[in-house]
């Protein structure tokens, strides 16, 4: 069922993309004389339109880890498992993450740090030593050609990696508190998700 849903969603996105591309090209042609538009110009316009609308990040898992802060259990570490919905190149170094808890808005930049999970536990990986509440990194789970680790790039729909970051103490989540996380790729579709902290029955929790 999940595979059929993904296939259907992919087809829908491609259909919408083709419609928008056609509209864009038609608009340009109607506003310019045909003599002034070369085949190269049309190719460039089409490619620019594809770049603008085709980047789509699928979020497959959302996990957090509680930590005691000022005597209270609060979620400080967050890991989002992402993958391209279709095979395409996504430059993770151009990704920006926005955090919004209703009182403060914070932007996280890429830490230039993508590594394999290896033998480490997700929340005990050494990459966390380089994350300070102002940046994010990536822990690769599946990456057959090491494009993410070597070149900071997803290039196949089989690529899977956790985007990981720390919440600063002022934004760490107590039970039932919420935070809105927005992923801004350099081009394409923005992803928005709302995370709500569950009861701290376990130290590692999965968000609904």
Determine the average pLDDT of the residues in 40-56.
Answer: 59
- Percent of the chain surpassing pLDDT 90: 64
pLDDT at 208: 82
pLDDT at 34: 45
In terms of pLDDT, which residue wins out, 101 or 49? 101
Chain segment 137-164, per-residue pLDDT in tens:
999 999 999 999 999 999 998 999 999 9
pLDDT band at 57 (very low <50, low <70, confident <90, very high): confident
- Check pLDDT > 70 for residue 13: no
Q: What angle do CA 169, 170, 173 make, to 5 degrees?
A: 75
Quote the mean pLDDT of the chain.
83
Determine the average pLDDT of the residues in 169-176.
Answer: 95
Determine the average pLDDT of the residues in 158-178.
Answer: 96
The yes or no reply on domain 57-206 and CATH 3.60.150.10 is no
- Percent of the chain surpassing pLDDT 70: 75
pLDDT band at 20 (very low <50, low <70, confident <90, very high): very low
- Check pLDDT > 90 for residue 87: no
Domains of the chain by residue range: 2-54, 57-206
Determine the average pLDDT of the residues in 20-46.
Answer: 54
CA distances from 171 to 106, 139, 174 (A): 9, 23, 9
- Check pLDDT > 80 for residue 3: no
pLDDT band at 6 (very low <50, low <70, confident <90, very high): very low
In terms of pLDDT, which residue wins out, 187 or 118? 118
Chain segment 105-129, per-residue pLDDT in tens:
999 999 999 999 999 999 999 999 9
Q: Chain-centre distance of CA 89, in angstroms?
A: 13
Which two structure tokens, joined as six digits, stand for 151? 């070149």
pLDDT at 43: 67
Q: 9-18: long-range contacts (C-beta < 8 A, 24 or more apart)? A: 9/85, 10/85, 10/86, 13/54, 13/56, 13/85, 13/86, 14/86, 16/53, 17/50, 17/53, 17/54
């Amino acid at each position: 069922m999940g595979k059929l849903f993904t296939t259907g969603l992919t087809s829908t996105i491609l259909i919408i993309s083709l419609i928008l591309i056609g509209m864009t090209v038609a608009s340009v042609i109607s506003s310019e004389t045909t003599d002034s538009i070369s085949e190269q110009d049309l190719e460039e316009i089409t490619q620019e339109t594809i770049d603008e609308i085709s980047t789509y990040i699928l979020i497959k898992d959302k996990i957090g880890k509680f930590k005691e802060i000022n005597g209270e259990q609060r979620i400080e570490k967050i890991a989002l498992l992402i993958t391209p919905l279709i095979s395409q190149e996504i430059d993770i170094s151009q990704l920006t993450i926005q955090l919004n808890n209703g009182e403060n808005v914070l932007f996280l930049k890429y830490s230039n740090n993508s590594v394999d999970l290896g033998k480490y536990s997700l929340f005990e990986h050494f990459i966390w030593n380089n994350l300070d509440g102002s940046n994010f990194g990536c822990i690769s789970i599946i990456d057959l050609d090491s494009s993410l680790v070597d070149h900071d790039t997803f290039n196949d729909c089989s690529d899977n990696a956790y985007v990981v970051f720390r919440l600063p103490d002022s934004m760490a989540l107590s039970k039932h508190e919420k935070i809105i996380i927005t992923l801004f790729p350099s081009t394409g579709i923005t992803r928005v998700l709302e995370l709500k902290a569950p009861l701290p029955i376990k130290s590692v929790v999965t968000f609904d």
